[in-house]
Amino acid sequence: MNKFWHILEYIQNKMKIVGAACLMAMVFLTCINVVGRFFNYPIFGTEEIVGFLAAFVIAMSLPYAHKEDAHIGVEILVRLFTAKTRSIIKLITNILSFILFIFATWRIAVYAYTMRQTGEVSMNLQLPEYYVIYMLSLCFLIFSLFILKDILNFF
């Protein structure tokens, strides 16, 4: 089981790099498009590509943010409780989060399958959107596994 978590950590590190690259690509593409608009040569489909990249940035950064405890919490109230109470609250939150994100993973995968079956593509560039949606589902699955790891570590 330890090897599984090690592989998951490796995947999470690569996801962090891909997310950072997508963020840099968003900035670069937006800047080039603004300069192009100034000279009346905008890049066709920039909005779609930036939208896809934004989805990747968010999904790829979720496992890293969870690992670093970078999510927003209601610590002003929780820090008043004892350490045991705080750990129980964290366990309950992790269990509920795991259930929520596993359900979201499943529904996103079903949505991607539906998009693939209908042959839906993006409006301007005619790119198949289901590839992006399947990737989001995979990222949510990895995020859910990190939440599961925290739950198992509690016990």
Name the strand (E) or helix (H) holding 24. helix 2-38
| Burial group, residue 66, by CB count within 10 angstroms (0-12, 13-18, 19+) | buried
Q: What is the pLDDT of residue 73?
A: 67
For residues 11 and 49, the answer to whether their CB atoms sit within 8 Å is no
For residues 11 and 142, the answer to whether their CB atoms sit within 8 Å is yes
155/88 Cα distance (integer angstroms): 11
Q: What is the pLDDT of residue 45?
A: 87
Q: Place 124 in a pLDDT band, splitting at 50, 70 and 90.
A: confident
Q: Place 110 in a pLDDT band, splitting at 50, 70 and 90.
A: very high
- Number of domains the chain is built from: 1
Helix (H, G, I), strand (E, B) or coil at 128: strand
* Range 11-19 average pLDDT: 93
Q: What is the pLDDT of residue 113?
A: 95
User: Tens digits of per-residue pLDDT, 21-80?
Assistant: 999 999 999 999 999 988 988 889 899 999 999 999 999 999 888 888 777 766 777 778
Provide the residue range defining the domain that includes 96. 2-154
pLDDT at 104 over 90: yes
Q: Place 114 in a pLDDT band, splitting at 50, 70 and 90.
A: very high
Q: What is the pLDDT of residue 60?
A: 93
Q: Work out the mean pLDDT of the chain and round it to a whole number.
A: 90
Task: Name, in order, each residue with C-beta under 8 angstroms of 130's C-beta and a sequence gap of 6 or more.
Answer: 112, 113, 115, 116, 120
Q: Place 96 in a pLDDT band, splitting at 50, 70 and 90.
A: very high
